[in-house]
């Protein structure tokens, strides 16, 4: 019988302890800690991300972006990708390091490397990407990177890149080449005729 009452006493006592803690937290709640109805209303994009300084990030894992003018078509990122979401096609340029205005190809990267390849296709399927960041390290020109964070000077952060169609998540970075342009690059006309 005494055990019965001791049990009840224990229960009430420990519950009271717990309720006191919850009550204290309820009193200390911040007034603006409420859920927003997300797509209709949203928080303003924060200046600082998670309480730490924005510039101090080592890296941020967001959307992949490619500065295609700097890409030399070395395929290193394609090989590094564990899920094969990067797909690159290249065509050999007629002369190394020369601009081809016809297909908007610049001959030199911003680091001064002469490009030997014209990148005819550079697609990243962000729906397959596993955000492992492995592709950004081997890049010799540092032209593939994840947007935002330490790279925000190159490209602002892209928090939400949701689309209605899955195919819209396949990002095309290379300039579109028409079949004639491709053909012209693959079989250059002899100079003597022109």
Residues that bind another protein (CB under 8 A): 7, 10-11, 13-15, 17-18, 21-22, 25, 50-52, 56-61, 80, 82, 130-134, 146, 149
Residue closer to another protein by CB (options 103, 129) is 129
Q: Please say whether the beta carbons of 87 and 79 come within 8 A.
A: no
Q: Count CB-CB contacts under 10 A for residue 80.
A: 17
Residue 13 CB, nearest distance to another protein (Å)? 8
Residue 191 CB, nearest distance to another protein (Å)? 42
Tokens at 141, concatenated: 């020109």
Residue closer to another protein by CB (options 30, 189) is 30
Note every long-range contact of 25-28, with CB atoms under 8 Å and residues 24 or more positions apart, other chains counting: none
Q: Count CB-CB contacts under 10 A for residue 151.
A: 19
Residue 126 CB, nearest distance to another protein (Å)? 15
Residue closer to another protein by CB (options 80, 126) is 80
Residue 8 CB, nearest distance to another protein (Å)? 9
Residue closer to another protein by CB (options 57, 159) is 57
**Does an H or E element contain 78, and which?**
helix 76-80
Q: Count CB-CB contacts under 10 A for residue 109.
A: 19
């Amino acid at each position: 019988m005494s055990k019965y009452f001791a049990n009840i006493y224990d229960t009430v006592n420990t519950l009271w302890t717990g309720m006191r803690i919850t009550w204290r937290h309820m009193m200390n709640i911040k007034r603006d800690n409420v859920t927003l109805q997300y797509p209709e209303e949203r928080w303003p994009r924060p200046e600082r991300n998670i309480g730490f300084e924005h510039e101090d990030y080592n890296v941020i894992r967001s959307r992949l972006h490619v500065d295609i003018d700097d890409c030399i078509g070395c395929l290193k990122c394609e090989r590094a990708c564990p899920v094969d979401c990067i797909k690159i096609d290249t065509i050999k340029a007629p002369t190394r390091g020369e601009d081809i205005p016809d297909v908007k190809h610049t001959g030199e990267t911003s680091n001064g490397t002469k490009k030997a390849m014209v990148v005819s296709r550079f697609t990243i399927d962000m729906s397959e990407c596993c955000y492992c960041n492995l592709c950004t390290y081997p890049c010799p020109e540092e032209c593939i990177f994840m947007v935002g964070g330490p790279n925000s000077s190159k490209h602002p952060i892209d928090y939400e890149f949701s689309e209605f169609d899955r195919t819209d998540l396949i990002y095309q970075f290379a300039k579109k080449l028409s079949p004639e342009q491709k053909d012209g690059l693959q079989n250059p006309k002899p100079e003597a005729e022109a």
